[in-house]
Amino acid sequence: MRFLTLGSSAEIGASCHYLSVNGCGLILDAGADPNSEGIPSLPRYDLLRGAGSTAPRHVFITHAHQDHVGGLPTLVDEYPGIRVCLTEATRQLAEFMLHASARLQRRRFKEGESAHPPLFDEELLDIVSSRHSTHEYGESFPLLHEGQRLSAQFFDAGHVLGSAGVLIRFEEDDRERSLYYTSDTNTQPQAIIPGGAYPEPPIDILVMESTLGADPQAEHSTRADHEDAFCEALKAVIARGGCVLVPVFMLGRAQEVLSVIQRFKNNGLIPKDLPVYTAGGMREVSNIYDQTRLYTPRIDQAFKVSRVRQRRFPFRHDKILSAMQSPAIFVLASGMMFEKTLSNRVAQLMVEEEKHAVFVVGYCKKDSPGRRIQEALDQGLDGVVLNKEAGMQPLRCQVERFRFSGHSNRQDLVALAKRLHPKKTVLVHGETAARAWMADAVAAACPDTEVILPEAGQVVEL
C-alpha cells in the first residue's frame, strides 16, 4: 500500500490523502485551506500524475468542514468517474456548504475582493452531486475494482453532524489487512453530538489526527468544567452591560454553543430575553441538524436548534453599534476570526471597549486572528492586529478561552491508538509540535507500533 499526503502541508489546512491499495486509488478527504484562496488553497492533485499513481476510484468525505470538503469539486472535475462516499447527513451539509462557497467565491472575485477566479460553479456542483454514494454507520460496502476484494465501513467520529471515520479492509500477500482513518474525531460527548464509535481491534494501519497534540491544558479539564466557567464569564459581562462575541465554525461549534446557551436560559442562569445574534448560513446548517435528528447519533433527539431564540445579525454598521448598546451574545463565523468574516468585523468593534468580551471556544490555527488575540492576552500585549487594513488596535476587551472543541484531547487520542493496537500509526492533521508530541506519546504507549510522520508529497509504503 502506498500513502501520499496531498494537502498543502501535513499540518492543518487542506486535508487530503491518497492510498493505492492493490492497484485501486482511494482518496481520504478533499479539503481546501480556509485561510487561502484559489489554486493555492487546494490539495496537490498534480502529485498523482507526477508520481504515476493509479487514478483514484473513490473519495471518502468524512465531514463537511471546508478543510475536508472544499477541494472536492476540483477533484471530481479532474476525475469525473470518481465515486464520492459519505454519510447522508454529510451529503446534505456538503451540498449546502459548497454552494455557499461557490456564491462567495463568485461575489468576491466580481467585487475585486479576491484576485482568484472561482474554483467551481453550480454546474460543476451538480456533477459532484451525481457522484454521491451515501452509506450508514456500520454498513460495510464494497469498493469495486477489477475483482479485488476491497470494502469500506463508516464509524461515527463524534466530531460534527455526519462525521465519520473510515475503515478499509483489503487483501495483501494472501491475508486480510485493515486501515482506519480517524479524520477529525472526538471520543467524548459534546452538547448535541455523542462521543465517537470505533472499530474492533486490532487494525493494521491507523491514520490519526493530531490537532490538539500540542495543547496540554485540554487534557486537564472536562467539558462540564468549561461550560460552568463559560456561564460564569457570561454572567459577569452581562452584569457590566457588555456584549460577548463567540466566534464559531458555522458547522458544529455554532450549534453546540447555541445548545449550551439555551440550557443556561432554561435553568435561569442568564436572562431568558438576552438577545442572541446569528447570521443566515448558520441557521441553514442548524435546520439540517434538526431535520436529521431522528436518524443520526444525538444525546437528545428531541432537541431542535431552531427552538433557540435567535435574532438576525444586523449587517449595517449603525445597526450593529445599536445592538451593542445593551447586553447581547453574538455567535458568528468564522471560528478562527479570519479577516473579512463577521466575527472579525465585530471583534474590531469590541476589542477597544473594556465592557465587551471575546470568548474563543475552539481551536485556532497558527497566525489566525483568533490565535493572535489569545497570544496578545497571554503575552500581556496592549494591542492586537485583527485585520491588516485596520492595523494595530488597543486590546482592552476581556478575552477568554473555553474548550468546546470537537476534537479529542491528546491523551484520549493516545488511548484510542492503544485500544486499536495498530502495527503502524500515521499521524496527520496537526501542527509540527502537535504531531511530534503525539509521535513520542504513541510510541511510548504502543511499543509495537511503527509511528510515521509523513511530509507533504512524500510517498510512504505501508
Look up residue 32 and give its three cell numbers.
481546501
Contacts of residues 263-269 at CB distance under 8 Å and 24 or more positions apart, as own/partner, are: 263/191, 264/231, 264/234, 269/231, 269/235
Task: Tell which wins on pLDDT, 52 or 62.
Answer: 62
Tell me the C-alpha distance between 56 and 240, whole Å. Answer: 57
Distance of CA 424 to the CA centre of its chain: 25
CB count within 10 Å of CB 375 equals 14
pLDDT surpassing 70 at residue 235: yes
Answer yes or no: are the C-beta atoms of 342 and 313 closer than 8 Å.
yes
- All residues at 6 or more sequence positions from 188 whose CB lies less than 8 Å from its CB, including other chains: 158, 195, 223, 408, 412
Average pLDDT on 443-447 reads 97
Which domains are seen in the chain, by residue range?
Answer: 2-215+408-461 (3.60.15.10), 222-401 (3.40.50.10890)
Amino acid at 387: N
Per-residue pLDDT tens for 70-99?
999 999 999 999 999 999 999 999 999 999
Q: Where are the alpha helices (DSSP H) in 28-87?
A: 46-50, 66-69, 72-78
The model's pTM is 0.93
Look up residue 293 and give its three cell numbers.
435528528
Per-residue pLDDT tens for 189-201?
999 999 999 999 9
Which range, of 146-150, 157-161, 381-385, 403-407, averages the lowest pLDDT?
146-150
Q: In this structure, what are the phi and psi dihedrals at residue 203, rounded to the nearest 5 degrees?
A: -120, 160
Chain position carrying cell 465587551:
356
Average pLDDT on 317-325 reads 95
Tell me the C-alpha distance between 17 and 31, whole Å. Answer: 10
Answer yes or no: are the C-beta atoms of 36 and 60 closer than 8 Å.
no
Give the chain's length: 462
Band (145; pLDDT cuts 50, 70, 90): low
Chain position carrying cell 436572562:
271
Residue 8 pLDDT:
60
Tell me the C-alpha distance between 330 and 323, whole Å. Answer: 10
Look up residue 72 and give its three cell numbers.
472536492
Answer yes or no: are the C-beta atoms of 427 and 439 closer than 8 Å.
yes
Tell me the C-alpha distance between 113 and 328, whole Å. Answer: 30
| Bridge partners of residue 306, in order along the sequence | none
Band (142; pLDDT cuts 50, 70, 90): very high
Average pLDDT of the chain to the nearest whole number: 93
Tell me the C-alpha distance between 239 and 144, whole Å. Answer: 62
- All residues at 6 or more sequence positions from 49 whose CB lies less than 8 Å from its CB, including other chains: none
